[in-house]
Structure 1
Amino acid sequence: MGLSPMVWGPLGQVYGRRWTQIVSAVLFFAFSIGTALAPNLVSFFIFRVLTAFQGTSFLIVGASCIGDIYRPTERATALGWFLSGTLIGPAFGPFIGGIIVTFRTWRDIFWLQTALAGVGTALVFFLLPETIHHKRSAELAGLKTAEKVHKLWQWTNPWRVVRLYRYPNLLIVGLASSSLVWNMYSLLTPIRYVLNPRFHLTSPIQSGLFYIAPGCGYLLGTFFGGRWADYVVKKYIRKRGRRVSEDRLRSCLVAMGVVIPGCMLVYGWSIEKEKGGIPLPVIVMFLQGVAQLFCFPSLNTYCLDVMQGRSSEVVAGNYMIRYLFAALGTATCLPAIEAIGVGWFSTISAGFLVVSTLLTYATSVYGRGWRETIDEDRQEKKARHAHSDAEK
């Protein structure tokens, strides 16, 4: 999931949203069947990697569709609804999985995933129109084969996504998204291993119930987070007389810098010190779920706004870095908790969020200037190269 955005982002720009989504949906459906039928652990891992590679297409190209359709002052509201699915899935998935493995075989989890993938594929094929205004592939008409190959490599080279991080504002927003995903996965991943011993739970379905709290928080936040981000944009348009993309980032500062770190600290230390019983961690998990939906629409919509002509690639870069941190958080959270305790690990996660918030605030103030400086430097370099070529 961390590496595949470098593929899907450029493809969405070149061949359009519809066919990129259809291809990835069909492959996701096929690899889900492979996972359900996996005869051994090696093949299971291979098919899980392949489904993950396809799955990010929905997140990246789907967000780009919203950027194509909605005006900048409406995008966050639409994106809030879209993101609710991507966040509710990881929250309710373990709960449903806990029910399945308590009473049935684990393979039924992936047959359910296959069924959902089949429905998704049908919906994409029959209901998703092309939303991009200009496919780059249209520029290939009339070119020789060698020229087409050269152009396609220029447009789909994965390095294009990585190079976007020469813009400090995109790097900072990527780190801010990563701090939220780190928090999300490091909170959800060890629930069974942290809360089961703490509250003497004995079955997967019991620990799965804890995932309902953040899931309900994500669902409730859907109704307010995106609208709040759009409200802040409109507020600063009235104040400035024009829209500045970085103003949107101000809508997530309180939730990201105060609410979620506070929830993490209460969650971690209440578990560590065995205080508050079951209600306290459930409440703070719910609140941090709500707060996350006040952050993600703001950060994701900024990626759509800031470079409209390359929105798919900007979103891809953001997902690339956030899922690399998600992988890191998933892999390290349990060993870290065993080494230093859930309280100190939650404190580290809260610190990551606070630092990201300070950097995001700096971007909201100085980000426009950073962008313009880099764009001016690029234009000057192009002009010098053109002048040099003319002299030759």
Structure 2
Amino acid sequence: MLTKHTLFTLIYNLRPLLLYHYFDERGSSAGFFNNWISMGHSTTAPPVAKETFKKGTDLPSWHKYVILFTVSFMCLAATFSSTCLYPATPEIAAEFGTTAEHINVTNAGVLLAMGSSSLLWAPIARTLGRRTAYNAAIAVLFFCSIGTALSINMAMFTAMRILAGFQGTYNMVAGQTIIADIFDQKRRGTAVGFFMVGSVLGPAIGPLVGGIIVTFASWRSIFWVQTGMVGLGLFLSLLFVPSIAQPHQITEKPSLKLWGKSQVEMLKVFTLLIYPNVFFADLACGLLAWTQYSLLAAPRHLINPRFNLTSPLVSGLFYIAPGAGFLLGSIAGGRFSDMTMAKKIMQRGGKRVPQDRLNSGLIAFFLIIPASQLIYGWCLQYDVGGLALAIVAAFFTGAGLMAAFSSLNTYCAEAIPEQRTAVIASKYFIQYIFGASGNAAIVPLIDSIGIGLAATIGVILAISGGILVWTLAKYGGEMQTFIDGKLGHQVETDDEK
């Protein structure tokens, strides 16, 4: 017979597997089941879990891979919301008695909210711990998804969408920081590449799933699907993602004073832009985001009338092409980034320089993205090659974008390791400002000057980003050293990672 004592003993022994314990950024430790078992029996603090990992790199490999899958899946669920309504825009506009342009502006507002989410959640993370903030952000997104599905008018729909957006990029910032904490620098690029699978597939499969759903059911079902995805992500996070001790984190107890200090600390999201290497990396990501979201926002507007298509399902299926490109580019780009870094380390006699990995993305900036975008835009402009050529061009555009993003994302986690979260947050802030601009502007721009010239503008922006990255790869170290010298800072490397 299973007694209470036997049950508690079993639970206690399963704690390392279930991972219901954590060691948070402030240095406190706790175990969920330790707390539960001791409730009502003791007023003293619960014992420290012996299985706690103070360094993320000490985690076993299987645990790292499960964490990587979890944070990547959560990014997929969060970014799914940013594009899932593209094929359903006319249907939503009709139900709420508004225009498609109004819905597109709402989508742009969601992207702006996503870019700003770290300004809200990072102080919470510094006050309550990163794990608590991460799970709370997921929980808020869960309830906002339900609220969007139950919206009764345009005001409620807009409010729920934008509130959901405010949880968006914190999942990416925290996820990318977690990966930087648990993988050493030799494998970090590959890990970030796999992490990006979630963040890049979300915007790509969102319209695909949305198109399928809106063809056969109500657009509200899109958000019930999203609710299920976010709920699963929350379950996985609670089960498998611990907090990792941070060597640069403060050790104060939660308080209003700490909350205020944390908000001031988040100004580093902007003050770090004084470093040219950080600003160049962020701006390059923003220029890529314009191309990414202008590619994703326009297909139903472009494809359906040109090829006499009437179903949102077909325009939704079109997103398989850039989605597959995103997948290939993120994985291959991350791996190529690590290979480039390893080669440069050998050439430098064992010295590791973070900006060396940026060389891996130059071919994407200067060849793959420009060529595929020009083919995509001008062939659609003059009806050359049909739908098949547009699909192929969209695939290579997506692959090039993610190959370029991979090295930049990893670099942002390595450039100033003691300010890693702030650097990554600044990247997403600028990236989503450009993404929102591309999302809102691309359809009116196409109507005004044509898809050919609109694509050419995207190419110019991508090449400009490539120039920034080339400059950063060549002179990034000198840029950072110069500013550190002016500010009287000691330059800290990430070699221990």
TM-score in terms of structure 2 length: 0.73
Deviations along 1:54-73, one digit per CA (max 9) or x if unpaired, are: 12121110000001011112
Match of 2:355 among 226, 246, 271: 246
* 2:373 paired with 1:260: no
* 2:298 paired with 1:185: no
Match of 2:468 among 353, 359, 381: 359
Q: Secondary structure at the match of 2:167?
A: helix
Q: Which 4+ residue blocks in structure 1 deviate beyond 6 angstroms?
A: none
Distance 2:218 2:205 in 1: 18
After superposition, where does 1:136-175 map in structure 2 within 5 Å? Answer: 136-138=249-251, 140-141=252-253, 149-157=256-264, 158-175=266-283
- 48-57 vs 10-19, which moves further: 10-19
* 2:487 paired with 1:378: yes
After superposition, where does 1:8-27 map in structure 2 within 5 Å? Answer: 8-12=121-125, 15-27=128-140
What's the CA shift for 1:17? 2.9
What's the CA shift for 1:10? 4.8
Aligned to 1:123: 236
Q: Secondary structure at the match of 2:403?
A: coil
Deviations along 1:10-57, one digit per CA (max 9) or x if unpaired, are: 544554431121110111111111111111110100000011101212
* 2:315 paired with 1:207: yes
Distance 1:15 1:262 in 2: 48
Distance 2:344 2:157 in 1: 50
Distance 1:167 1:236 in 2: 24
What's the CA shift for 1:340? 0.4
- Asked if the contact 1:245/1:302 (under 8 Å) is kept, the reply is yes
Aligned to 1:230: 338
Distance 1:12 1:297 in 2: 26
Q: Secondary structure at the match of 1:278?
A: helix
- Asked if the contact 2:294/2:439 (under 8 Å) is kept, the reply is yes
Aligned to 1:51: 164
Distance 2:472 2:248 in 1: 31
Number of residue pairs the alignment of both structures matches: 375
- Asked if the contact 1:15/1:137 (under 8 Å) is kept, the reply is no
Match of 2:152 among 39, 47, 58: 39
* 2:391 paired with 1:282: yes
What's the CA shift for 1:105? 0.6
Aligned to 1:60: 173
What's the CA shift for 1:251? 0.8
CA shift in 2, pair 1:81/1:137, >3 Å: same
CA shift in 2, pair 1:11/1:239, >3 Å: farther
* 2:198 paired with 1:96: no
Query: What is the RMSD of the two structures over their aligned residues, measured on CA atoms?
Result: 1.7
Aligned to 1:388: none
Deviations along 1:292-316, one digit per CA (max 9) or x if unpaired, are: 2312220010011011111111100
CA shift in 2, pair 1:248/1:16, >3 Å: farther
Distance 2:336 2:485 in 1: 33
- Asked if the contact 1:16/1:132 (under 8 Å) is kept, the reply is no
Aligned to 2:16: none
Letter in 1 for 2:221: D
What's the CA shift for 1:5? 2.3
Letter in 1 for 2:223: F
Q: Which has more helix, going by share of residues?
A: 1
What's the CA shift for 1:218? 1.7
CA shift in 2, pair 1:335/1:360, >3 Å: same
What's the CA shift for 1:372? 0.8
CA shift in 2, pair 1:292/1:331, >3 Å: same
What's the CA shift for 1:228? 0.3
Letter in 2 for 1:304: A
What's the CA shift for 1:291? 1.8
Deviations along 1:245-290, one digit per CA (max 9) or x if unpaired, are: 1111111111122111111111000000110011111111111222
- Asked if the contact 1:29/1:114 (under 8 Å) is kept, the reply is yes
What's the CA shift for 1:239? 0.9
What's the CA shift for 1:220? 2.2
Distance 1:132 1:315 in 2: 19
Q: Secondary structure at the match of 1:136?
A: coil
Letter in 1 for 2:139: V
Aligned to 1:176: 284
Higher relative contact order (CA 8 A, sep 6+): 1
CA shift in 2, pair 1:321/1:116, >3 Å: same
Q: Which runs of 5+ in 1 are unaligned?
A: 381-392
Distance 1:77 1:268 in 2: 32
Q: Secondary structure at the match of 1:218?
A: helix
What's the CA shift for 1:76? 1.1
Letter in 1 for 2:304: N
Aligned to 1:384: none
